[in-house]
Amino acid sequence: MKKMLLVFAVAGMAFGFSSCKKDYTCECDGTVVGTFENTKKSDAEDACDAMNTFGTYTKCEVSEK
């Protein structure tokens, strides 16, 4: 019984520490300007913000694909 509990605890910790990577799109002013596959949301948001470095767009946001 203790061995099973240990196995479940280790599996739960491994799942808890894994990052949640999904597919995201960067949409600026109603136009999709980029897609990010298998990426963390924070990384997709940073990349989307970087696409607007010259202030070309008024509003950019990341949404799940």
The whole-model pTM stands at: 0.66
- The whole-number pLDDT of residue 5 equals 43
Position 51 pLDDT exceeds 70: yes
pLDDT of residue 20: 82
pLDDT digits (tens, 9 = 90+) for 3-46: 544 444 444 444 445 568 999 999 999 999 999 999 999 999 99
* Residue burial 7-38, b: 16+ Cβ < 10 Å; e: rest: eeeeeeeeeeeeeeeeebbbbbeeeeebebee
